[in-house]
Amino acid sequence: MTEENLDQLSFEDALAQLEKIVQELESGRIKLDDAVASYEKATALKKLCEEKLKTAQLKIEKIEITADNQTNSSEFIVPEE
């Protein structure tokens, strides 16, 4: 699976693939070359999951209660680092 194809995965699918790779690596029953390739894919999947989580965090609404007990929501913005 290429990096372009990885971008098409949902968070849940990427996480499921990552978990499967971890289980395979932990089993110790795969050849070294396959283990290296799996590790590289796992690294890409981990990065994708982190990016999707960060994107979701940026979409969270910040809810505020005004002085007259009304709720006001605005997009949650994380300051640039």
pLDDT tens track of the chain, all 81 residues? Answer: 566 688 899 999 999 999 999 999 999 999 999 999 999 999 999 999 999 998 887 666 666 777 788 777 776 666 665
Cut 0.85: pTM above it: no
Tell me the two tokens of residue 77: 């913005």
Residues 13 and 1: beta-carbon distance below 8 Å: no
How much is the pLDDT for 68? Answer: 83
DSSP helix/strand/coil, 80: coil
The number of CA neighbours under 13 Å toward the Cβ of 39 is 10
* Neighbouring C-beta atoms of residue 22, cutoff 10 Å: 15
Tell me the two tokens of residue 11: 């968070």
